[in-house]
Amino acid sequence: MAAHRCGLSLVCILIFSSLAHPSSCDTLEKANDNTAEKRSISEVNTDGSVAGEALNERQWQSTDAEVDRSDSTTHSEALTPAAARDEFQEELVIRPLHSGDIYASFQFRTLWDTDFLQEGQKVSHYRLFPKSLGQVLSKFSVRELHISFTQGFWRTMQWGQPFIPSPPGAELWVWFHDTVSDVDGNWKELTNVLSGIFCASLNFIDLTNTVQPSASFKPLGLGNATDHRFLRYATLPREIVCTENLTPWKKLLPCGSKAGLAVLMKSEKLFHSSFHSQAVHIRPICQDEQCSSKAWELRQTLNVVFDLHTSGQGKKEWSLFKMFSRTLTEACPLASSSKVYVDITDNPEGELFELSPATPLLGQAVVLGDRRTYSVYDLSRAETFGQLRSFNLLLRWKGDSGDMLRPLLHAERYVAGFGLQTGEIHTVIYNNHPYRAFPVLLMDSVPWYLQLYIHTLTVTSKSRDNKPSYIHYQPAKDRHRPHLLEMLIQLPPHSMTEVTVQFERALLKWTEYTPDPNHGFYVGSSVVSALVPSMVAMRTNFTQDQPLFSSFVPVKEESSYFVRVYTEPLLVNLPTPDFSMPYNVICLTCTVVAVGYGSFYNLLTRTFQVDEPSPPLSKRLANLIRRMRGVPLLT
Amino acid sequence: MGLLSDPNRRKALTGLLTRLNTPICIVCYLAGIVWFMGLAFEPFTLRTYMSENAMGSTMVEERFSSGERALSLAKEFDAHKRKAGGMPVEWLVKAMQSRGLEVFTQSFSRKLPFPDENKERYMVRGTNVYGILRAPRAPRTEALVITAPCSPGNTNNQAVALLLALAQYFRNQIYWAKDIIFLVNEHDLIGTQAWLEGYHHTNITGMEYSPLQGRAGSIQAALSLELSSDVITSLDLVLEGLNGQLPNLDLANLFYAFCQKLGVLCTIQGKLQRNDWDTAEGYTHAAQTMMLMVLKQACGRSWGDHGLFLRYHIEAASVRGINSFRHYKTDATTIGRLLEGMVRKLNNLLERLHQSYFFYLLPSLSRFVSIGYYMPAFGLLAVILLLRVSFPGLCHCFSVSLQPSSPGVLTVLTPVVISHLTGVALYLLPVHLQEMAVEHFPVSETEAVVLTAIAIYTAGLALPHNTQRLLSGEGTEQGWKVLKLTALLYLAVLLGCTALINFSLGFILAVTLVPITASITPHMPKALYAVVMVLLSPAFTILYCVFIYQELIEAPVSVSEGWMLFLSVISQGILDHALYGSLVYPLLALFIYPCWLMFWNILFWN
């Protein structure tokens, strides 16, 4: 494999350089693109509804005005204090899924205008940005922090791609500043602090489940860090997410759950769903296109999928009230923008579902390689709330829709074999693109107690050996560090690629078993990262008015977009002693000790003597007489 | 331990064992049998109890109510099954999809080594349909399986329909923590085997199948449902699986608890429970139930779809509806509730079922005999073999025979090797020679296989004479003693290992093999002892088991019918080995039979 390493870096850099830099854009291009965008929107509108065109025009005008306003603040920035440029945006995207389920994604973005790159500068002024996180950032010299808590598994085959993917359980990856000398120490402390902030068991992250991926996780914000010594990645697939994690997460919002979209977050409804994921992403970004000033960006996302079957009494109907048992009455007063988007791409004529109240505002965004159309509800406008001063979006399904378009990239994983000695991990990656091949990076982090036989690693596509062009393998050390396996695999078009590796289950020391050893041991999701060929041209420029959900991952090329797919975690049974039989164990040991020790002790301490048969009576009498006479005795 | 370190007492003990060897052996044998029969006596057994905390304290409330809908669905399914002339795959896929499951199919094909005349199949080609109910907010790591075989004719329609009705009801509940897989398999065990092999991506029996598209993590437990009538009198629980493996006793306890709760008559081995343990009838009843379990377990085949799951460390049981001519009837809604309750309890499991016993015998559903209680019965039989080894003459000559110049090793080695070669022939030839046999004799393939097996078995009886020809000199007195010593130790090890894995098989073999093997010498009246030996050989043991089994299930057969059954049991045993990997046939052919032949050799030693 070493031979392949020579060619690896080029491919890797090609793929991930696009992720590494947020684009530094120039104004001219942006302006052009904006007009082009506007034109395309108005075209769509003429196709869709002619009547709404004027209103749409007005909407886009007003967005421009907003941009202008922000420009004007830029000009006056020299005079006002830096805190004035802190900003908060909130949005909710609702996407009706073909299965009848509904996907609701909240995104909250807080910008903190502070110069984070200056070392030793103590920042003590917090306006919108939560102080608890700000202090963590400066204390541990964090460059970028991504943490997600997920309950459930994202069903790619039915739901398509999520806006921001996350694996089941907790996931944490952090880039530290390259000035940090003791990364492991910082990491350890950081996980403990975060564990307190989010009321989660992140303190279970230690060296045995932390890895340093060499290529799969590149910084999403500013900076071109490629030295993975400053990266730490860990997952806790067992972590159970519940209300106790939601409450601290909500407290990070400027409005808390008092106003704005966050009032919808009633935990009894959010956890009455098929999928729940909440995340916090902190990264440095450019404040404007020129990148003249930088800012911290805090993105809080919450994704929920509501299940039609468990919550609809036979009626295929969704409303904000039904989903969240609340309606919206106002935007968060601190928010510069507060919007609700409903994905109506599959419903251009209203034949699939009916949306009320109808909105004249339409928006378009290129998300995950697809151009989507949205109905936009601006909560900062009074007319959105209507006469009743309350906004309750109602979505009524009309007909059954066909199958979902198969996602271009899809992966799954399972353990093959039976018995408690060996097994085989199968990772299956599907490329559903009809004619394009593309490379993916597969990252697997396997705990040390599954001893991988790396010589059995096979990668097959279309029943042919598919040699990975890059393999980075770091073997595990028992009780110290997990296996890390990263591979760059080229997926042929319309194919299924299977990666298999055999393992042996280790016999743990008896104190190393969890309190429920017969439940099994978890192996975290493997991560497939790829630049997937896009159906439409992606927008590579950096604009302010893009909806939040479409602007998380920076786009470098027009022809492809970045996707990360997580597979299922695995539950593996290890050979387990019968802990439920202490009584038997005690009995057995006592018996063994008693029998073994007793007989040995007896044999070792006893003095053996030859037992002389007692002499006959006559001889004894004779000896008696001889003793009296003083002559030698008979023997 | 003074007893052993004191040379005098040791000598006395050895003397006692030597002098009273035969009486002690006889006492041990009788004690073993009596102990075993005593296991069915209620005061000697333990009452079953739920060990698993997660399933114990909280009773769930069952709300399933669409039993009627299930019955109408059964009619619909029946109509589609007739129309499709087999499994209505498309209809099932649609039915499952409309209930909100993720549906997948798996096609498989298998060519049997020879035609199965009981089920009339040779080239098997079929499709499994399964739907996965994804548990909300669960990461696809754990699953439960409910399976219903799609049988030919109009049997088992209600099971499939109830499965669908349950799927519909379960889909609307929020409390699932594990994914639930609803599997409808074709060609009963072959389909289950194909699905399980596909799910675990193994191939141990040479099955051809298409890979599975959807999975749901590690399967924690499985229930198989067999139901052929709209109302039932009682539900029968089937536990015996492949190679005599049993599911965790908690699964049986769970079933029993819900039968009690819902007032459903429940049986095991088709026998109701009786309360009059102190009467002779009560005891006989319990003993019959236990004997049935022992016989079923000993034959090592899977007595329902559940049996194949056990290999994969999945606790599984079959629930079979029985409709007899009693007045007491249970409707489909109640059965649905019972299953709902069981599945919900299994859903509550935090760990795999492991708290209760894996080795047990059930004289009734509410009583069990654990391994600690039944093992002494076998131990008493096995100790006879060891006592015979300690017979003075034997020990001495073994030490003599180990000296290199002695002719003993060769004299022992030859019969051992030849017996085992016969065993290998018995194992390999019947299946491989069937074509030749069919060409030369007017028999079907199945008959050819069975008759070849019997022929080889009988031919093995002529071995002693052939062995003698190979030997250079006369068989010495010392020679047979060494052979007997080897054979006794060999048999003791064989039976001991068998009994640890499959107690029933080990015990039955010990009961028939131990008395004759312990007493055999060349100095006995040959004709009489030859007859006795043959009557107690492994093949005749199978024959007796067939008759006893028929007697116990209250369907006694005549001798000729019994013979036919015997033939079909042999063919089924060979098929089970080829199709599902049952180990009873290779065990008998490769080990037990050669071992028995060694004793046969001793009888004809000259």
| Chain A: closest CA distance from residue B170 (Å) | 9
**Considering CB atoms only, which of B137, B354, B355 is closest to A276?**
B137
Among A25-34, A348-357, B321-330, B442-451, the range scoring the smallest mean pLDDT is A25-34
E strand map for B327-454: 360-364, 367-370
Which residues 6+ apart lie within 8 Å of A58 measured at CB? none
Helix (H, G, I), strand (E, B) or coil at B258: helix
pLDDT digits (tens, 9 = 90+) for A375-398: 899 888 888 888 888 888 888 887
| Whole-angstrom Cα Rg for chain A | 33
More confident: A346 or B214: B214
Chain A residues in contact with B174 by the CB 8 A cut-off are: 272, 310-311
Candidates B137, B180, B347, B359: best to mutate against A (most CBs of A within 10 A) is B137
pLDDT at A118: 60
- CA pair distance A211, A482, nearest whole angstrom: 7
pLDDT at A474: 93
Is A598 in contact with B201 (Cβ distance < 8 A)?
no
CB B483 within 8 A of CB B489: no
Over 70: is that where the pLDDT of A61 sits?
no
pLDDT digits (tens, 9 = 90+) for B219-254: 999 999 999 888 899 999 999 999 999 999 999 999
Chain A residue with CA closest to B356: the answer is A580
CA distances from B439 to B436, B443, B452, B494, B574 (A): 5, 9, 13, 38, 21
> Which residues share a beta bridge with A108?
A90, A300
Chain B residues in contact with A157 by the CB 8 A cut-off are: 102
| Whole-angstrom Cα Rg for chain B | 27
Over 80: is that where the pLDDT of A540 sits?
no
Place of tokens 């004779």: A622
**Mean pLDDT score of chain A, rounded to an integer?**
80
Is A416 in contact with B200 (Cβ distance < 8 A)?
yes
pLDDT digits (tens, 9 = 90+) for A487-500: 999 999 999 999 99
Place of tokens 């947020």: A22
**Considering CB atoms only, which of B1, B138, B352 is closest to A602?**
B1
Is B136 in contact with A516 (Cβ distance < 8 A)?
no
Candidates B141, B172, B359: best to mutate against A (most CBs of A within 10 A) is B141
Contact residues, chain B to chain A, C-beta under 8 Å? 1-2, 4-5, 100, 102, 134, 136-142, 171-174, 200-202, 215, 217-218, 311-313, 350-352, 354-355
**Considering CB atoms only, which of B138, B202, B352 is closest to A417?**
B202
Is B139 in contact with A606 (Cβ distance < 8 A)?
no
pLDDT digits (tens, 9 = 90+) for A78-98: 333 444 578 899 999 999 887
Chain B residues in contact with A419 by the CB 8 A cut-off are: 313
Over 50: is that where the pLDDT of B85 sits?
yes
A583: confidence class by pLDDT, cuts 50, 70, 90: low
Chain A residue with CA closest to B1: the answer is A599
Chain B residues in contact with A307 by the CB 8 A cut-off are: 136
Is B352 in contact with A412 (Cβ distance < 8 A)?
no
**Considering CB atoms only, which of B5, B138, B201 is closest to A599?**
B5
Chain A residue with CA closest to B172: the answer is A310
Is A606 in contact with B5 (Cβ distance < 8 A)?
yes
**Considering CB atoms only, which of A307, A412, A418 is closest to B311?**
A418
pLDDT digits (tens, 9 = 90+) for B20-67: 888 999 999 999 999 999 999 988 899 998 888 888 756 678 889 888
In the structure encoding, which two tokens stand for residue B597, read together?
């032949």
The values of phi and psi at residue A303, to 5°, are -115, 130
- CA pair distance B154, B62, nearest whole angstrom: 29
Summarize the confidence of residues A133-151 as an average pLDDT: 91
pLDDT digits (tens, 9 = 90+) for B418-433: 889 999 999 998 888 8
**Considering CB atoms only, which of B139, B171, B354 is closest to A568?**
B139
pLDDT digits (tens, 9 = 90+) for B167-196: 999 998 888 999 999 999 988 899 999 999
pLDDT at B524: 83
| Chain B: closest CA distance from residue A568 (Å) | 6
pLDDT digits (tens, 9 = 90+) for B510-562: 999 999 888 888 888 888 989 999 999 999 999 999 999 999 988 888 899 99
What is the predicted ipTM?
0.88
Is A153 in contact with B140 (Cβ distance < 8 A)?
yes
Is B218 in contact with A569 (Cβ distance < 8 A)?
no
Chain B residues in contact with A522 by the CB 8 A cut-off are: 141
Chain B residues in contact with A152 by the CB 8 A cut-off are: 136-139
Chain A residues in contact with B355 by the CB 8 A cut-off are: 580
In the structure encoding, which two tokens stand for residue A103, read together?
């996907």
CA distances from B47 to B50, B156, B367, B368 (A): 10, 33, 5, 6
* Biggest CA pair distance of chain B: 85
Percentage of chain A lying above the pLDDT 70 cut? 81
pLDDT at B408: 58
| Chain B: closest CA distance from residue A424 (Å) | 9
Chain A residues in contact with B1 by the CB 8 A cut-off are: 595, 598-599, 602
Chain B residue with CA closest to A580: the answer is B355
Helix (H, G, I), strand (E, B) or coil at B174: coil
CA distances from A156 to A163, A409, A412, B169 (A): 12, 9, 10, 25
| Chain B: closest CA distance from residue A275 (Å) | 5
Is B351 in contact with A415 (Cβ distance < 8 A)?
no
pLDDT at A311: 63
pLDDT at A32: 40
Give the distance from CA B234 to its chain's centroid: 23
Alpha helices by DSSP H, listed for B460-552, are 463-470, 477-501, 503-519, 526-535, 538-552
Count helices and strands (H / E) in chain A.
Answer: 13, 26
E strand map for A344-404: 353-356, 362-367, 370-378, 394-397
- CA pair distance B425, B421, nearest whole angstrom: 6
Chain A residue with CA closest to B135: the answer is A274
Over 60: is that where the pLDDT of A63 sits?
no
Is B137 in contact with A152 (Cβ distance < 8 A)?
yes
Is A517 in contact with B217 (Cβ distance < 8 A)?
no
pLDDT digits (tens, 9 = 90+) for A267-319: 888 888 899 999 999 998 887 777 777 888 999 999 999 987 766 555 678 88
Among A64-68, A340-344, A558-562, B112-116, the range scoring the smallest mean pLDDT is A64-68
pLDDT at A2: 40
Closest by CA to A270, choosing from A238, A328, A311, is A311
Is B218 in contact with A572 (Cβ distance < 8 A)?
yes
Is B351 in contact with A309 (Cβ distance < 8 A)?
no
**Which among A516-530, A579-593, B521-535 has the top mean pLDDT?**
A516-530
Is B141 in contact with A569 (Cβ distance < 8 A)?
yes
In the structure encoding, which two tokens stand for residue B13, read together?
């003990």
**Considering CB atoms only, which of A272, A415, A517 is closest to B174?**
A272
Candidates B140, B309, B371: best to mutate against A (most CBs of A within 10 A) is B140
**Considering CB atoms only, which of A571, A595, A603 is closest to B142?**
A571
Chain A residues in contact with B54 by the CB 8 A cut-off are: none
In the structure encoding, which two tokens stand for residue B514, read together?
């131990």
CA distances from B344 to A313, B130, B177, B224, B338 (A): 22, 20, 9, 15, 10
Is B355 in contact with A580 (Cβ distance < 8 A)?
yes
Is B352 in contact with A273 (Cβ distance < 8 A)?
no
Is B100 in contact with A271 (Cβ distance < 8 A)?
no
| Chain A: closest CA distance from residue B370 (Å) | 14
A24: confidence class by pLDDT, cuts 50, 70, 90: very low
- CA pair distance A591, B340, nearest whole angstrom: 46
- CA pair distance A438, B260, nearest whole angstrom: 60
Of all helices (H) and strands (E), which one includes residue A33? helix A27-48
